[in-house]
């Protein structure tokens, strides 16, 4: 058993991250000593040397585990020795650990998102309309699309760069091939993230997920959804952004009578799964959530 856990988060920017509160609460609840530090590492090429150094510290046992967030969920992959199946399929890793002297990348975003969707009771939306719309095509979007496709949803990926959405679809094509119904539309398709495409969605989605950084500090006054496009009626809006607790996207949707949720529940779930990978112990979710209860907004 480790006497002192040295954990941390790699990403940029990290000024408003709640991860240290969450993981320190988990360590304390289980009687573990340790720390969880923030490692702000800018995108390549400037941050590559720092990123490599942090991974080497994991390899040497100086660090016992790392989380990874924007912009490194994909760029970290070539620096690892092994990928868990979900991370390999998605093409993004958010959790790094050392197993049998190998750096292993895993992805707890996907099961974390699905767990929170079930907590909200929103997974039943697919019974009426299987269509979900994912805004964005980065590492977080890949995790969400993977989770939805495996659960039987039809998914439309809307990205400002269609080639990024097509790349995402290729990354999850194994899951897509397994879930494709005979004679039906492709389980995952791509469209341009613009007014025309969002106005003409068919069928209209019951679930919309923001997997872009728009709405997150320092872009709180931005929304990935065009302000002059009405939301699909009765759609539920899930924003992966959790700080601020209510994004501009959520505010407009809520004022329009739609159900909304931020990504705080997903944050707790993915953190709990990462914590279990590092420590081998079931994470104390209640204590982790209590540590950031002041950031919870009504859903």
**Measured distance CA(16)–CA(280) in Å, rounded:** 28
- Quick check: 112 and 273 in contact, CB under 8 A? yes
Report whether 245 contacts 217 (CB < 8 A): no
User: Which of the residues 28, 73, 74, 293 is marked catalytic?
Assistant: 73
Give the C-alpha separation, 3 to 32, whole Å: 8
Beta strand pairing call for 260-261 and 82-83: unpaired
Q: Are 26 and 284 in contact (CB under 8 A)?
A: yes
Residues sharing a CB contact under 8 Å with residue 228, sequence separation 6 or more, in sequence order:
195
CB 70 within 8 A of CB 139: yes
Pure H helices in the chain: 19-29, 48-59, 85-90, 109-120, 139-150, 162-171, 173-179, 195-199, 248-255, 264-279, 285-290
Decide if 73 is catalytic: yes
DSSP state, 240?
S
Q: Give the DSSP letter of residue 78.
A: G
| DSSP-based three-state secondary structure for 20 | helix
The 3-state DSSP class for residue 3 equals coil
Rounded Cα–Cα distance for residues 173 and 190 (Å)? 13
Residues labelled catalytic: 73
């Amino acid at each position: 058993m480790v006497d002192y856990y040295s954990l941390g988060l790699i990403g940029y920017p990290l000024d408003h991250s709640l991860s240290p509160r969450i993981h320190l609460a988990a360590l304390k609840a289980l009687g573990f000593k340790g720390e969880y530090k923030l490692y702000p590492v800018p995108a390549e090429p400037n941050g590559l040397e720092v990123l490599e150094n942090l991974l080497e510290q994991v390899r040497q046992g100086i660090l016992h585990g790392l989380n990874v967030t924007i912009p490194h969920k994909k760029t970290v992959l070539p620096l690892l020795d092994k990928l868990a199946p979900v991370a390999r399929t998605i093409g993004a890793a958010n959790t790094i650990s050392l197993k049998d002297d190998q750096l292993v990348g895993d992805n707890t975003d996907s099961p974390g998102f699905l767990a929170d969707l079930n907590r909200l009771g929103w997974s039943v939306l697919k019974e009426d309309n299987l269509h979900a719309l994912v805004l964005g095509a980065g590492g977080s979007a890949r995790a969400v699309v993977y989770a939805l496709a495996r659960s039987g949803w039809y998914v439309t990926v809307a990205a400002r760069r269609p080639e990024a959405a097509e790349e995402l679809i290729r990354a999850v094509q194994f899951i897509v091939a397994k879930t494709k119904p005979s004679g039906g539309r492709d389980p995952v398709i791509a469209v341009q993230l613009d007014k025309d495409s969002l106005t003409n969605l068919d069928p209209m989605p019951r679930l919309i997920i923001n997997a872009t950084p728009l709405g997150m500090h320092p872009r709180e006054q931005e929304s990935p959804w065009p302000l002059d496009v009405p939301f699909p009626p009765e759609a539920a809006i899930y924003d992966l952004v959790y700080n601020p607790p209510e994004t501009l996207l959520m505010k407009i949707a809520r004022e329009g009578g739609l159900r909304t949720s931020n990504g705080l529940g997903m944050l707790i779930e993915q953190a709990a799964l990462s914590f279990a990978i590092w420590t081998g112990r079931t994470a104390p979710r209640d204590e982790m959530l209590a540590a950031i209860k002041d950031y919870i907004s009504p859903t």
